[in-house]
Chain A
Amino acid sequence: MKILVCISKSPDTTSKIAFVDQNTKFDENGVQYIINPYDEWYALVRALEIKETLGGDVTVITVGPIADDAIIRKALAIGADDAVRIDADPTDAYYTAVQIAEYAKSNNFDLVLTGKETINYNGSQVAGMIAESLNMPFVSLASKLDVNGSTLTLEREIVGGLQVVEVSLPAVVSCAKGMAEQRIPNMRGIMAARTKPLQVVAPVSVELLTTYVNYTMPNAKSSCKMIDPMNMDELVALLHNEAKVI
């Protein structure tokens, strides 16, 4: 089984979010990047588990600049066999997805796994776009994935519930909580990662369908009004008359 796992970087979840250049660019000063948690904890680990039981190869791919080699090495340390970095700035989901799809087309993967969404842009766009570009079925937000020969059985979240579905390979799946458990790389993995192959590929030319023009920060809350814990009638009255939410 040949599995391609799409990983992206995201700022460490405790990072302070700020913008520079007249609020047109994310301020990377002092920001620590991690692998997007869904990509690392669920997509990558499940791919490795499948490889461990059925054999095969796990390739990780990212679209990003050279600085992203750090997160790629981490994915290799966790256990991926090899890595591909498409050397481009992933500012638009369509652009990013087409880059990945082009690489996947010429390398015949059985399964393409992504995270549920990136925690910086939260678009949930890239996976479905890869699937459409490859003309493959797409199972979104899977919390369970089992392989039986050339079919996958998956559990996925749908509007208001859970669904168990079956789909034939090749397919694209986006991975959510429940799929697997986080793995911490060990020393041997970290050493081995240094010599695993990391291929850098030039991007294909693709138009940008969207552009982030600028960013704004939410207004700070005015100070919190403290209510006497003995007087819940007052809270209810405030929620009704002042906040007008009940």
Chain B
Amino acid sequence: MSVLVYINSNSGLHKSALETVSYGKKLGGNLTVITSGSADDSSLATLGKYGANKVLVDRSIQGNDDQQLTQLIASAADSVGATTIIFSHDLTAKAVAPRLSVRLKAGLISGAIELPAADGTVKVNVFSGKAFGSVKVNSSVKIISLLPNSFQPEENGNNCAVESFSSNASSSLIKVLSTKKPEGEIPLPEAELVVSAGRGMKGPENWGMVEDLATALGAATACSRPVADIGWRPHHEHVGQTGVAIRPNLYIAIGISGAIQHLAGVNGSKVIVVINTDAEAPFFKAADYGILGDAFEVLPRLTEAVKKFKVSGQ
């Protein structure tokens, strides 16, 4: 058994990279990591602590073209004789894993949320998180892309070797004209804590108190669809069936009614807190903790309580 994990290391090592390496380790066998991008050797070597036996890196590839990345991963898979290839189910994987599946004739399981069961099937979300499906791969090589925040990284080994690798990938057919990166923000799908607000906030000018709570917690911010549609918040914050699907440890929903399409994107969250003035809001049925009250009064109080907790450490 040989496992190959692809990680995106363009902006350092994300938690999702540690999750996929730890997941790969649990499958047993020899574990190789393949990456392109700019992370330095010493940080790549730390992947050994999560179970990697070796890291292969091709720094000649920028990682913008899924055809190049497909070639890179296919040749790494060939050189280590990989029987399972693992991605984190992020935007890169959504472009590259399907191509690789066709190239290697290897069945692809997208959005895995657990380790394979004894019968080899892997559980994924279907119907936008309203149910789970168990999927079996019929080919000898499997590709699994792991939903972020579904598997806890485990650290216990030592640093591993980092070797350069070349796939001789052809030149990129996709020309990048510019890239906009929001500075210092936590990418929503990876965030462990998310503070989200809806139309109950009345207007964009009131988001300061939502952000204050998020900052106090160290959480990412999200919103309901109408809030993004009317331009109160940027589109990338829109969660739900037609937005981003997330499964943080904690989801705080403020002034969001809990429509079925909204719940579809967030009901994988481990703990849900709902703040709403309407006792009949459907969201309370999906919540672990509920606060029946006005967000404009509750939020500052909650932010203060969080700050006090952070200072005292308990």
Interface residues of A (CB under 8 A from B): 11, 13-14, 17, 19, 37-38, 93-94, 97-98, 117, 119-129, 131-133, 137-141, 143, 153, 157-168, 177-178, 207-218, 221-222, 224-227, 229-230, 232-233, 235-240, 243, 245-246
Contact = CB atoms under 8 A, between A and B. Distances in A.
Judged by DSSP, the binding face of B is: mixed
A160 B181 contact: yes
Given A138-B66, A209-B139, A210-B138, A239 B271 contact: yes
A139 B136 CA distance: 28
B286 interface: yes
Interface centre among B64, B95, B291, by most chain A C-beta atoms within 10 angstroms, is: B95
Interface string B266-306: 01001111100000000011111111111001100110111
Nearest to A15: B127
B8 interface: yes
Cβ-closest 10 pairs across A and B: A128-B98, A229-B293, A209-B107, A161-B181, A232-B305, A132-B102, A132-B99, A140-B95, A124-B94, A245-B250
A163 B64 contact: yes
Nearest to A14: B260
B30 interface: no
Contact of A216 (B10, B107, B109, B134): B134
Interface of B: 8, 10-11, 64-67, 70, 90-92, 94-103, 105-111, 119, 121, 123, 125-128, 130-139, 173-182, 185, 187, 192-193, 217, 235-236, 238, 241-243, 245, 249-250, 260-261, 264, 267, 270-274, 284-294, 297-298, 301-302, 304-306, 308-309, 314
12 contacts: A13-B260, A17-B127, A17-B131, A93-B108, A120-B126, A128-B95, A141-B94, A158-B64, A159-B11, A211-B136, A226-B289, A238-B289
Contacts of B90: 159
B110 A124 contact: yes
Contact of B128 (A122, A161, A164, A240): A122
A221 B297 CA distance: 27
B98 A212 contact: no
Contacts of A138: 66-67, 95, 99
Contacts of A128: 66, 94-99, 102
B298 A208 contact: no
Given A93-B108, A246-B250, A167 B102 contact: no
Judged by DSSP, the binding face of A is: mixed
Nearest to B16: A159
A43 to B, nearest CB: 14
Contact of A161 (B99, B103, B173, B182): B182
A216 to B, nearest CB: 5
Given A177-B242, A209-B108, A230 B176 contact: no
